[in-house]
């Protein structure tokens, strides 16, 4: 792995300043300008190579520019791209069938981004509550968890507990209840006859890679069934092999009523998302109830179909299980007082750092050593590489982190 150059080039400065000048400041990227990607690597405009330990929050699980996916994109792009759902296309049916077959759900509704899929799930849950469960009009309730991240639309931030996500964007959607994460007893206390759904991440991603205790999801599933409440798992980041199972809820041996998928579903090439559920839930939608101009377009369907097939053919789920264990063991072998915890499942891993040392500063030093990642909640460094990563590349990353922690520990009071 070539070490990144420390000198800031004029070209990089110009690119960054142009984006700041003409773009909204709703992101604060690390100071690197990327121009090319292949497999688990990306390159900047100076030709420096980096190991991508973020994979775009799991959107690049297949690796950058996977040749099979690029070819599927190329072929379809030269054939038919967008026609809207006003007409049938020859690609969507196969994509939906493959998704339902792999996930064992009856039906799927295609959208574009993960947030759109969550919005679709919320609308489905509310209409199901009114038309099937018998909840009085406009009284349906949705339960979500503290520290969740389901997106940033107005409806979704209504269930967020992150102050910055909400500040200045009210008023918020009514009918939302927030409960502590990882406590099934709190779920039971929150359920009323008007509860439509419980929306939950099997592992909290943006919330700090928080893995609930064993049995939590199983207990929640039992409670939802007992009280006729839809259990909806947000698998946008955890799904499609990331945690060492096709879907993260499978670690608990359960099946929720519905799931939302996104990110890796587009193979790192396009935004593609799905809401999947059983027939009784999906059939609440009638023509005109819900839709998207781009959702389910032939280009997205072709790439999504190929992404699901590559996931199976290349045994990426199995790789995530094996290499995730290897990665976590290697991280736990680092002898540093700055590491407070290593947690996760598969290749979704969080390293919690002593709060006296900003995790962001560690990410900046990793950048200089050719490793790209980003902190969350100020104290957790994420490691979620493409599922094609090798043991050797993991070793390089762990070595770089170990060196940075030694450097950062100098001068830190014990």
| Residues forming the active site | 149, 234, 263
Q: How far apart are CA 249 and CA 260, in angstroms?
A: 12
Phi, psi of 221 (to 5 degrees): -60, -40
**Residue 253 region, left (φ>0) first, then alpha (ψ -120 to 50), else beta?**
left
Q: How far apart are CA 41 and CA 372, in angstroms?
A: 9
Cα atoms found within 13 Å of the Cα of residue 23, Cβ hemisphere only:
11
- For 107, other C-beta atoms within 10 Å of its C-beta total 19
Residue among 59, 31, 57 nearest 45 (CA): 31
283-310 burial by CB neighbour count: b if 16+ within 10 A, else e? Answer: ebbeeeebebebbbbbbbbbbbbbbbeb
């Amino acid at each position: 792995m070539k070490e990144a150059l420390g000198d800031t080039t004029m070209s990089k400065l110009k690119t960054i300043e142009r984006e700041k000048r003409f773009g909204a400041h709703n992101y604060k990227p690390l100071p690197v300008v990327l121009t090319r990607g292949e497999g688990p690597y990306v390159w900047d405009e100076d030709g420096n190579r980096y190991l991508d330990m973020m994979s775009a929050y799991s959107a690049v699980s297949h690796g950058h520019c996977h040749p099979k996916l690029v070819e599927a994109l190329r072929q379809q792009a030269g054939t038919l791209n967008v026609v809207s759902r006003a007409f049938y296309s020859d690609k969507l049916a196969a994509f939906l069938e493959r998704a339902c077959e792999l996930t064992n759900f009856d039906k799927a509704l295609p959208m574009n981004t993960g947030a759109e899929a969550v919005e679709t799930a919320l609308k489905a849950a509310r209409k199901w509550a009114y038309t099937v469960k018998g909840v009085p009009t406009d009284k349906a309730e949705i339960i979500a968890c503290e520290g969740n991240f389901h997106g940033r639309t107005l409806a979704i931030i209504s269930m967020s507990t992150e102050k910055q996500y909400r500040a200045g964007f009210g008023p918020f959607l009514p009918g939302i209840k927030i409960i502590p994460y990882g406590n099934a007893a709190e779920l039971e206390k929150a359920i009323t006859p008007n509860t439509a759904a419980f929306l939950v991440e099997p592992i909290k991603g943006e919330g700090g890679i928080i893995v609930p205790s064993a049995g939590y999801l199983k207990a929640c599933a039992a409670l939802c069934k007992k009280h006729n409440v839809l259990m909806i798992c947000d698998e946008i980041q955890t799904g499609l092999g990331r945690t060492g199972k096709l879907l993260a809820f499978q670690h608990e041996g359960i099946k929720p009523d519905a799931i939302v998928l996104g990110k890796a579903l587009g193979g790192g090439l396009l935004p593609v998302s799905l809401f999947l559920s059983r027939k009784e839930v999906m059939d609440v939608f009638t023509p005109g109830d819900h839709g998207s101009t781009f959702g389910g377009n032939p280009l997205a369907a072709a790439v999504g179909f190929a992404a699901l097939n590559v996931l199976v053919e290349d045994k990426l789920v199995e790789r995530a299980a094996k290499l995730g264990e290897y990665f976590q063991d290697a991280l736990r072998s680092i002898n540093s007082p700055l590491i407070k915890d290593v947690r996760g499942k598969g290749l979704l891993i969080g390293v919690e750092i002593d709060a006296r040392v900003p995790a962001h500063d560690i990410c900046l030093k990793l950048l200089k050593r050719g490793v790209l990642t980003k902190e969350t909640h100020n104290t957790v460094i994420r490691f979620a590489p493409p599922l094609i990563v090798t043991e050797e590349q993991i070793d390089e990353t762990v070595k770089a982190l170990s060196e940075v922690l030694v450097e950062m520990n100098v001068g830190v009071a014990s």
